[in-house]
């Protein structure tokens, strides 16, 4: 068994978590785990006075959608394209991303698991 070191930890942190394939409507997508830093950036983006629920959900999709290897596919440059998605598809994706990342859990529920 190899020794657990700082370098071992940093390599483990840098490796993307395994993505999950989900289906919304008749379309399949890959979604990924969102880092604490990305969640903090999302919160800042969605905290502005002009932020609305649709833009907030679209920002979540931008960060949460991935390729088969768990790498983020989209950037803020793709926001307008994401906002063109049908509402039920965008909100369905957001629900899947939230669930996969545990955003729908309370602290007490997370501590039990």
Q: What is the pLDDT of residues 29-54, one digit of tens each?
A: 999 999 989 999 988 877 765 568 89
Task: Give residue 15's pLDDT band: very low, low, confident or very high (50, 70, 90).
Answer: confident
Task: Give residue 112's pLDDT band: very low, low, confident or very high (50, 70, 90).
Answer: low
List Cβ neighbours of 93 (8 Å cut-off, separation of 6 or more). Answer: 22, 24, 29, 31, 61, 64, 65, 85
Evaluate if residue 91 carries a pLDDT over 60: yes
Q: What is the pLDDT of residues 70-83, one digit of tens each?
A: 999 999 999 999 99
Q: Which of 4-8, 43-47, 98-102 has the lowest mean pLDDT?
A: 43-47
Separation between Cα atoms, residue 23 and residue 29, nearest integer Å: 6
Share the mean pLDDT of the chain: 87
Percent of the chain past pLDDT 70, that is, above it, reads: 88
Separation between Cα atoms, residue 45 and residue 55, nearest integer Å: 9
Residue carrying structure tokens 């999302």: 42
Separation between Cα atoms, residue 60 and residue 9, nearest integer Å: 27
Instruction: Summarize the confidence of residues 89-113 as an average pLDDT.
Output: 79
Q: Which one-letter DSSP state was computed for residue 78? A: G
């Amino acid at each position: 068994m190899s020794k657990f070191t700082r370098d071992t930890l940093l390599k483990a942190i840098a490796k993307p978590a395994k993505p999950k394939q989900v289906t919304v409507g008749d379309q399949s997508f890959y979604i990924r785990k969102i880092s604490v830093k990305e969640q903090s950036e999302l919160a800042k983006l969605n905290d502005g006075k002009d932020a609305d629920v649709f833009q907030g959900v679209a920002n979540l999709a931008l960060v949460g959608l991935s390729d088969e290897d768990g790498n983020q596919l989209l950037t803020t440059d793709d926001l307008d394209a994401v906002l063109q998605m049908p509402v039920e598809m965008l909100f369905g994706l957001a629900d899947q991303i939230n669930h996969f990342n545990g955003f729908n859990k309370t602290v007490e529920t997370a501590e039990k698991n």
